[in-house]
Amino acid sequence: MDPLSTAETWAREGRAVALATVVETWGSAPRPVGSHLVIDGDGLFEGSVSGGCVEGAVVSEAADVIETGRPRLLEFGVADETAWRVGLSCGGRIKVFVEKVA
Amino acid sequence: MRLDLLAELNAVRDARRAACIVTELASGDQRLVIEPEASDPFAEKIRNAFASGKSTTAESIDGKAVFLNVHVPSPRLVVLGAVHVSQTLAPMAATLGYEVTVLDPRTAFAAPERFPGVDLVAEWPDVALPRLGLDPFTAFAALTHDPKIDDPGLSAALAAGCFYVGALGSRKTHAARRDRLAATGVKAADFDRIRAPIGLPIGAASPAEIAVSIMAEITAALRKPEIRA
The DSSP line for A1-51 is --HHHHHHHHHHTT--EEEEEEEEEESS-SS-TT-EEEEETTS-EEE-SSS
Of A5, A32, A34, the CB nearest to B10: A5
Q: Give chain A positions within 8 Å (CB) of B13.
A: 4
The H-or-E segment that residue A95 falls in is strand A93-101
Q: List Cβ neighbours of B130 (8 Å cut-off, separation of 6 or more).
A: B156
Q: Is A101 close to B3, i.e. CB distance below 8 A?
A: yes
- The alpha carbon of A29 is separated from its chain's Cα centroid by a whole number of angstroms, namely 14
Same domain membership, residue B85 and residue B144: yes
Same domain membership, residue B130 and residue B82: yes
Q: Is B6 close to A8, i.e. CB distance below 8 A?
A: yes
Same domain membership, residue B206 and residue B112: yes
For residue A80, pLDDT over 70 is answered with no
Same domain membership, residue B57 and residue B121: no
Model confidence over B21-67: pLDDT tens digits?
Answer: 999 999 999 999 999 999 999 999 999 898 778 899 999 999 999 99
CB contact A24 to B (< 8 Å): yes
**Cβ pair B142, B162 in contact under 8 A:** no
For residue B228, pLDDT over 70 is answered with no
Q: Crossing angle for the helix pair B207-223 and B84-95, nearest 10 degrees?
A: 40
Q: Crossing angle for the helix pair B171-183 and B147-159, nearest 10 degrees?
A: 70
Q: How many CA atoms within 13 Å lie on the side-chain side of A50? A: 29
Mean pLDDT of A55-63: 94
Of A33, A73, A102, the CB nearest to B55: A33
The fraction of chain A above a pLDDT of 90, given in percent, is: 65
Number of domains in chain B: 2
What is the dihedral angle through the alpha carbons of A39, A44, A46, A50, rounded to the nearest 10 degrees? Answer: 80
Q: Is residue B53 a part of any domain in this protein?
A: yes
- Whether omega for the bond prior to residue B197 falls within 30 degrees of 0, making it cis, is yes
Same domain membership, residue B57 and residue B85: no
Same domain membership, residue B210 and residue B125: yes
Q: Give chain A positions within 8 Å (CB) of B67.
A: 21, 23, 97
CB contact A20 to B (< 8 Å): no
Average pLDDT, chain B: 94
Same domain membership, residue B185 and residue B84: yes
CB atoms within 10 A of CB B37: 7
Q: Give chain B positions within 8 Å (CB) of A4.
A: 6, 9-10, 13
Q: Is B13 close to A4, i.e. CB distance below 8 A?
A: yes
Residues in chain B: 229
B1: closest chain A residue by CA: A101
CA distances (Å), B55 to each of A5, A73, B52, B100, B195, in order?
19, 17, 9, 25, 29
CATH, residue B210: 3.40.50.720
Q: What is the pLDDT of residue B173?
A: 95
> For residue B25, what are the domain limits?
3-71
What are the residues facing B68 on neighbouring strands?
B22, B56
Q: Is residue B229 a part of any domain in this protein?
A: no
**Cβ pair B100, B93 in contact under 8 A:** yes
CA distances (Å), B126 to each of A92, B21, B51, B103, B167, in order?
50, 36, 29, 11, 17
Q: Which of B67, B71, B74 has the highest number of chain A CBs within 10 A, making it the mutation to test binding with A?
A: B67
Query: Which of B187, B188, B136 has the alpha carbon at shortest distance from B165?
Result: B136
Number of inter-chain CB pairs under 8 A, A vs B: 56
Question: Where is average pLDDT lowest: A27-31, A48-52, B23-27, B76-80?
Answer: A27-31
For residue A78, pLDDT over 80 is answered with no
- Domain's final residue, options B30, B52, B71: B71
Of A4, A24, A33, the CB nearest to B6: A4
